[in-house]
Chains A and B, each alone.
Chain A
Amino acid sequence: GDSVTQMEGPVTLSEEAFLTINCTYTATGYPSLFWYVQYPGEGLQLLLKATKADDKGSNKGFEATYRKETTSFHLEKGSVQVSDSAVYFCALRTGSNTGKLIFGQGTTLQVKP
């Protein structure tokens, strides 16, 4: 079945460091891909998305490119801040308007000053 695999955390970085969180997927058809973020004590919110191959999603300095050839959607940010500390979830959604989100296990990011 469809699945998402994320790199295991926690990831600990110093402020202004470069961030990469790897995400690969297995899916039949052509999924849409998402990154969701969960800040401490808050609900899950969409960070960015891409709906077809080679699309790049971006938001708040984060980027991810839909790579069909490597079935990947890695999350990157050039310079992280303490406020980026959160749990990041990669997810896919197949189907037209009937698909559910399938999530990876989540990666905890801790940014130290």
Chain B
Amino acid sequence: GAGVSQSPSNKVTEKGKDVELRCDPISGHTALYWYRQSLGQGLEFLIYFQGNSAPDKSGLPSDRFSAERTGGSVSTLTIQRTQQEDSAVYLCASSSPGPSGNTIYFGEGSWLTVV
């Protein structure tokens, strides 16, 4: 597609349930990122995939959070046993190989509400 595609755009779930958020990056982009934007907060880095390298998971807030990227393309962010503090917009982004000045493109996000 033309841009980074995320689904669902909105998700309401009950506390304790598991959720999966999907990201389809721009075709040809080997780098994929997940960020979280909480109300009144900045953008928090979660995890980063680059090609076939081991992902950088340094931003995942707890072991309830995990992500995978199959076939070097689509990624799924999974949150197990959701808590109310997990409510946020989850943003996916992708970029092409190259120098650090290469632009990172963001999707419109998945808005998660845990009730």
* Complex contact B108–A42 (CB within 8 A): yes
A51 at the interface (CB under 8 A from B): yes
Most A Cβ at <10 Å: residue of B31, B41, B103? B103
Q: Are B50 and A49 in contact (CB under 8 A)?
A: no
Tally A-B pairs: CB < 8 A: 63
Taking a contact as CB atoms under 8 Å apart, the answer to whether A46 and B103 are in contact is: yes
Q: Are B42 and A93 in contact (CB under 8 A)?
A: no
Task: Tell me which of B33, B41, B100 contacts A105 (CB under 8 A).
Answer: B41
Residue B25 at the chain A interface, CB threshold 8 Å: no
Size of A's binding interface in residues, CB under 8 A: 26
Q: Which residue of B lies closest to A102 (CB)?
A: B45
| CB <8 Å contact, A100 and B98 | no
Q: In this assembly, does A22 line the interface, its C-beta being within 8 Å of a C-beta of chain B?
A: no
A106 (CB) vs chain B CBs: closest residue: B42
The yes or no answer to A70 lying at the interface (CB within 8 A) is no
Report A-chain residues with C-beta under 8 Å of the C-beta of B98.
97
**Contact indicator A89/B42 (Cβ below 8 Å):** yes
Whether A96 pairs with B108 at a CB distance below 8 angstroms is no
**Interface check A98, CB cutoff 8 A:** yes
Bound together, the chains give a CA A43 to CA B45 distance in angstroms of 16
Residues from chain B with a CB closer than 8 A to the CB of A13 are none
Residues of A within 8 A of B (CB): 31-32, 36, 42-46, 49, 51, 89, 91, 93-106
By Cβ-Cβ distance, the 3 closest A-B pairs, closest first, are A51-B101, A43-B108, A105-B42
